[in-house]
């Protein structure tokens, strides 16, 4: 649909077609509301992105969600979407402290902790129990590191074993509240790590078809500039200069941009505006995408590999420039039935401040360095002939993420923990305004984003039913 063809009035306008926005839009439409989804980019999916180059399809963030994604897709999307989700075979750690392959299931993880790290079964069991019993309302002062120290004092190798995958899954570190760790770890630590067969492109296509079937109006390349208020309540949005009337908005855009730019600090209660300004953004990422020559077969070396040359897991090491640590997602033909090419995507934590002030020439040089460092690690550690078999290589930086998602500073995991309260309090500050997007670590990743979209769609439905 085009912007000029939109209806005169909507029940809800969803700003941004990331997983949270799409899931919310689909649910609201199923409830019978008239919904418009506006996306600034020419593709849906947000950070669940893919791109095609020279015959390759690269996914930016596909590997690794918890088993709960199957149920979430079945309940809030469709059985067909849920049926595409399959378990990955193996996850590898490779760092100066240890080298381990695991299925990342409770059984295998317990086995590694007992037999490799030599922890007593009782300690493992009580640690798992403590994670599972963690609740939102528990002590938020205790950090993840303090929590690890209670069970595995002085064991920086175990701390890394526990933290590294979660760090890559949601950008969190030792310094975040222990409950955020416990909740996310428990989601993963049951039946392993899952993947969407057919790739991000198929997932997004199926979501789009489902939304259209349920009557969501979708307009691409429509950037929301303003959320309009009347008597303090949401009354409309301005997208590409066009005013559209709506009873409510659900923003899947960056929380800070939603509150401070789209609504505007001057339209918010003073204390709420202050919390918005104080809220810290998460850091960003860099990525390197490698396409392997036609006819070349990669041996199985794991689906996800956490590689680090840092002596131990320290938060700074994981956003260091140049990177000391990276995760590799290996795309075998099993990932996209009917498509036989191999590809590798490396992800590294990164900060916009290391990238934003580079001249064009410096920027290109920095990207080349990123690619070179990544190829060098692969050559030494995983794929000795990587330089011979590489056909295509490209890098993405915090600037790339900012361009495609409009997230401030290219933040790839939304905001830090304090963002959750801001996100939850938005409808109290501005009736009719809701936010569902990556906040606070626990609402991150494919599963967190989808579930948060559902939670907020339910709240918005209550608002519309009362009105």
Partner 1 sequence: MAMSKDEIRAAVLEIIEEIAPDEDIASMNDEEPIREQIGLDSMDFLDIVMELRKQYKVEVPEDDYNELRTLASTVAYLEGKM
Q: Which of 68, 236 has the CB closer to partner 1? A: 68
Q: Which of 390, 423 has the CB closer to partner 1? A: 423
Q: How far is the CB of 115 from partner 1 (least distance, A)?
A: 30
Judged by CB under 8 A, the chain residues 32 through 71 that form the site for partner 1 are 68, 71
Judged by CB under 8 A, the chain residues 350 through 379 that form the site for partner 1 are none
Q: How far is the CB of 458 from partner 1 (least distance, A)?
A: 5
Other CB atoms within a 10 A radius of the CB of residue 286 amount to 30
Q: What distance in Å separates the CA atoms of residue 382 and residue 391, rounded to the nearest whole number?
A: 17
Q: How far is the CB of 74 from partner 1 (least distance, A)?
A: 10
Could you say whether residue 464 binds partner 1 (CB under 8 A)?
no
Q: Which of 75, 205 has the CB closer to partner 1? A: 75
Q: How far is the CB of 337 from partner 1 (least distance, A)?
A: 28
Q: How far is the CB of 80 from partner 1 (least distance, A)?
A: 17
Q: How far is the CB of 209 from partner 1 (least distance, A)?
A: 23
Could you say whether residue 254 binds partner 1 (CB under 8 A)?
no
Q: What distance in Å separates the CA atoms of residue 301 and residue 454, rounded to the nearest whole number?
A: 36
Size, binding site for partner 1 by CB under 8 A:
12
According to the 3-state scheme, what is the secondary structure of the chain? Answer: CCHHHCCCEEEEEEECCEHHHHHHHHHHHHCCCCEEEEECCCCCECCCCEEEECCEEEECCCCCECCHHHHHHHHHCCHHHHCCEEECCCEEEECCCCEEEECCEHHHHHHHHHHHCCCCHHHHHHHHHHHHCCCCCCCCCCEHHHHHHHHCCCCHHHHHHHHHHHHHHHCCCCCCEHHHHHHHHHHHCCECCEEECCHHHHHHHHHHHHHHHCCCEEEECCCEEEEEEECCEEEEEEECCEEEEEEEEEECCCHHHHHHHHHHHHHCCHHHHHHHHHCCECCEEEEEEEEECCCCCCCCCCCEEEEECCCCCCHHHHCCCCCCEEEEEEECHHHCCCCCCCEEEEEEEECHHHCCCCCHHHHHHHHHHHHHHHHHHHHHHHCCCHHHHEEEEEEECHHHHHHHHCCHHHCCCCECCCHHHHHHHHHHHCCCEEECCCECCCCCHHHHHHHHHHHHHHHHHHHHHHC
Q: Which of 66, 437 has the CB closer to partner 1? A: 66
Contact residue for partner 1 among 31, 51, 116, 363 (CB under 8 A): 31
Q: How far is the CB of 412 from partner 1 (least distance, A)?
A: 24
Residue 278, class by beta-carbon neighbours within 10 Å (0-12 exposed, 13-18 middle, 19+ buried)?
exposed
Q: Which of 26, 254 has the CB closer to partner 1? A: 26
Could you say whether residue 270 binds partner 1 (CB under 8 A)?
no
Could you say whether residue 246 binds partner 1 (CB under 8 A)?
no
Q: Which of 27, 307 has the CB closer to partner 1? A: 27
Contact letters for partner 1, residues 69-108 (x by CB under 8 A): --xx--x---------------------------------
Judged by CB under 8 A, the chain residues 387 through 416 that form the site for partner 1 are none
Could you say whether residue 465 binds partner 1 (CB under 8 A)?
yes
Judged by CB under 8 A, the chain residues 424 through 463 that form the site for partner 1 are 451, 454-455, 458, 461-462
Q: Which of 294, 462 has the CB closer to partner 1? A: 462
Q: Give the number of residues written for the chain.
A: 467
Q: Which of 352, 450 has the CB closer to partner 1? A: 450
Q: How far is the CB of 304 from partner 1 (least distance, A)?
A: 25
Q: Which of 280, 421 has the CB closer to partner 1? A: 421
Could you say whether residue 245 binds partner 1 (CB under 8 A)?
no
Q: How far is the CB of 461 from partner 1 (least distance, A)?
A: 7
**Which residues contact residue 435 at a Cβ distance below 8 angstroms, ignoring those fewer than 6 apart?**
250, 251, 252, 255, 258, 259, 423, 426, 456
Q: Which of 103, 187 has the CB closer to partner 1? A: 187
Could you say whether residue 191 binds partner 1 (CB under 8 A)?
no
Could you say whether residue 20 binds partner 1 (CB under 8 A)?
no
Q: How far is the CB of 455 from partner 1 (least distance, A)?
A: 6
Nearest by Cα to 252 from 216, 224, 291: 224
Q: Which of 386, 457 has the CB closer to partner 1? A: 457
Q: How far is the CB of 21 from partner 1 (least distance, A)?
A: 18
Sites of contact with partner 1 (CB under 8 A): 31, 68, 71-72, 75, 451, 454-455, 458, 461-462, 465
């Amino acid at each position: 649909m085009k912007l000029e063809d939109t209806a005169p009035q909507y029940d809800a306008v969803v700003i941004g077609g990331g997983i949270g926005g799409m899931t919310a839009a689909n649910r609201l439409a199923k409830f019978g509301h008239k919904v418009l989804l506006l996306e600034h980019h020419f593709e849906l999916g947000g950070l669940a992105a893919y791109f095609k180059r020279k015959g390759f399809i690269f996914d930016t963030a596909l590997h690794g969600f918890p088993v709960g994604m199957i149920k979430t897709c079945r309940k809030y999307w469709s059985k067909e979407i849920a049926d595409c989700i399959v378990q990955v075979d193996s996850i590898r750690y490779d760092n100066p402290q240890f080298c381990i392959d695991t299925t990342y299931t409770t059984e295998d993880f317990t086995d590694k902790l007992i037999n490799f790290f030599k922890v007593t079964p009782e300690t493992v069991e009580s640690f798992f129990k403590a994670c599972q019993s963690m609740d939102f309302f528990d002590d938020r002062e205790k950090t993840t590191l303090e929590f690890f120290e209670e069970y595995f004092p002085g064991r920086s190798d175990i701390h890394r074993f526990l933290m590294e995958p979660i760090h890559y899954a949601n950008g969190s570190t030792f310094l975040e509240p222990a409950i955020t760790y416990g909740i996310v770890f428990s989601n993963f630590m049951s039946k392993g790590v899952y993947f969407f067969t057919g790739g991000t492109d198929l997932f997004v296509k199926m979501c789009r078809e489902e939304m259209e079937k349920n009557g969501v109006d979708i307009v691409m390349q429509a950037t929301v500039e303003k959320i309009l208020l009347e008597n303090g309540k949401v009354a409309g949005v301005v997208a590409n200069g066009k005013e559209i009337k709506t009873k409510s908005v659900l923003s899947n855009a960056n929380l800070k941009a939603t509150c401070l730019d789209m609504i505007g600090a001057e339209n918010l209660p003073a204390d709420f505006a202050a919390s918005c300004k104080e809220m810290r953004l998460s850091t960003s990422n860099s990525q390197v995408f490698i396409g392997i020559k036609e006819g070349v077969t990669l041996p199985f070396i794991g689906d996800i590999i956490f590689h680090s040359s840092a002596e131990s897991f320290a938060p700074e090491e994981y956003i260091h420039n140049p990177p000391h640590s990276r995760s590799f997602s290996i795309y075998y033909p099993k990932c996209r039935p009917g498509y036989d090419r191999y590809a590798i995507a490396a992800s590294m934590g990164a900060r916009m401040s290391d990238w934003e002030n580079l001249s064009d020439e410096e920027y290109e040089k920095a990207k080349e360095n990123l690619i070179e460092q990544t190829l060098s690690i692969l050559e030494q550690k995983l794929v000795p002939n990587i330089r011979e078999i590489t056909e295509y290589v490209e890098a993405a930086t915090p600037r790339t993420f900012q361009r495609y998602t409009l997230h401030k500073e290219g933040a790839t995991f939304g905001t830090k923990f304090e963002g959750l309260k801001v996100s939850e309090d938005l409808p109290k500050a501005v009736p009719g305004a809701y936010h569902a997007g990556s906040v606070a670590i626990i609402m991150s990743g494919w599963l967190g984003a989808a579930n948060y979209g559902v939670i907020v769609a339910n709240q918005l439905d209550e608002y519309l039913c009362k009105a």
